Structure 1
Amino acid sequence: WSLERLRHSMKCVNSCLNASQDHDDLFDRLKQAVIDEAMSRHKWEPKANEVLRVIQLNTLEDRNCRDKHAWDAAVKFLENSVKEELNATEKSISNLIGPGTKDRWMYWKYSTEEQDKRYAVKRELDKILNSNYKHGNVLTQDELTTIRENLLRSGVTVDNEFIKDTWNPVYRRHFLKQSLARAYDCRRGFYLYHEGLETECNDVVLFWRIDQMLKVTANALRQQVMNREAQRLDKEIKQVLEEFSENSEIKEKLLTGKRVTLAEELKRVKRIQEKLEEFIQALNKEKMDERR
């Protein structure tokens, strides 16, 4: 991941240079080839991974959130994460059961036969969750039988696997809504937690630990890039440039364009002029020798 970020940074820097007003496109292909070759050779310093792992583990060991601001940030982090998962789950359920009443009336959308069955199963599952708010993540055999029988009376025939497939996203949404409700309650839970009183805010503490770990990880990676990887990459780029400078075939391939062609023509003309001057000097010398 860190190496990919380094590659991305190199790409961004090169793009910015190419977009500048005084940019010269003569060396574009050469620069890109040097960057690609240097990055293909570059390997993240091995010991850095072990150091980072130790830093992360030490940070995760701290289980005591001492600051109200950090607590609020962790609650926000938890809420945003749960909302993101909840939105994805809602879309998944919507795809399973088909368009709702509004979409059917306003946009003339229709559901398939399978979606109608999914919707019927979902209604039965919602009844179970509404009657038992703390229901576990697995349906009992009796519940599966009851659902099948209820649907059969409505003319809908499904098997247990069909019900379980529908149950997974439905229960996930139920679980995420519970988690989000607890997160809202924990907005005011810091002082209770700080006093050591019983709260249902373990999720907040977990996300605080994760947030702290992400911060120290980002800082460690930034320091590694600035203090070590950038210097090592700079040496590798210089080495690639030196190798390319000694390879005529690569230079001919990468340095192309009208100016390169013109420079080559001028070089040839200069050589011809030098040969011509040498020839004229030789003739003049021969004439002088004859006169003597």
Structure 2
Amino acid sequence: MNPLHLESLLAIVDEGSFEHAAHSLGITPSAVSQRIKALERDTGRVLVRRSTPATATEAGEVLVQAARRMRLLQAETDARLEGRLGRVPLSIAVNADSLATWFTPVMSDVAGFDGATLRIRIEDEARTLALLRRGDVLGAVTRESRPVSGCESLPLGVVRYRAVATPDLAAQYPGPDWSRMPTLRFGPGDALQAADLEERLGEKQQRPRMSEIPSSEALARATLRGLGWGLMSDLQADIHLRRGDLVTLDDRIIDVPLHWQRWRLESELLEKLTDSVLAAAQQLPAV
């Protein structure tokens, strides 16, 4: 199988289109198209969905994962031969709350990896595993402890969430009155908040006003501004609770265990990344 063809397939998946892939590879869109057609002819399968953005088919995902592994190993081989790291891509999936809190030291560590680049995909911790299965990323922070085929799973710790709001908002809806108090969520994929709200509402038919804030930091700021109540991790909420800017609305604690799943691949760079993730997670309570 031609490595250039695999490289083109990976570029399409990463960049989202034949045109953007061509720009990143320094060739024409026609050349990219010819490479993919040749690869599809060799495999006898359709590998790319010609959509916006372009995505890999099930057969294409198998080759994308292989291409990503080849790229990492090639970059590390070049580093050993030439005594330098040119541009080693580390694609990982992390949930927004982790990225905004305990995960940030990882960025500092990667900055010292002699020119390695970090590509982070933000996804709910219940969904990051899908990116790992497809080969879109080589590591993921996930709730799932059972390792994906070809991967290993390492426990990171627990992120603890509580329902919080400003004192004024809590006083305005005593009880708390979950059916009337304005609510915040990260987005339609916020499975944690959705399940928690359903439990709090029970069989009540009335649903509260709900605002969507697709950023962990902005969601915290919106909570502090009184736009609604929300689930906030202790890592974000503690300082505001101590100051009195926020109050907890009840005694319920939601513990979300996190795990680091990574490819089972002999890679010095991947080992360094894993060590960095595990070190950063030491600030979390144990699983």
TM-score (norm 1): 0.18
TM-score (norm 2): 0.18
Larger radius of gyration: 1
* Larger RCO, structure (CA 8 Å, separation 6 or more): 1
Higher strand share: 2
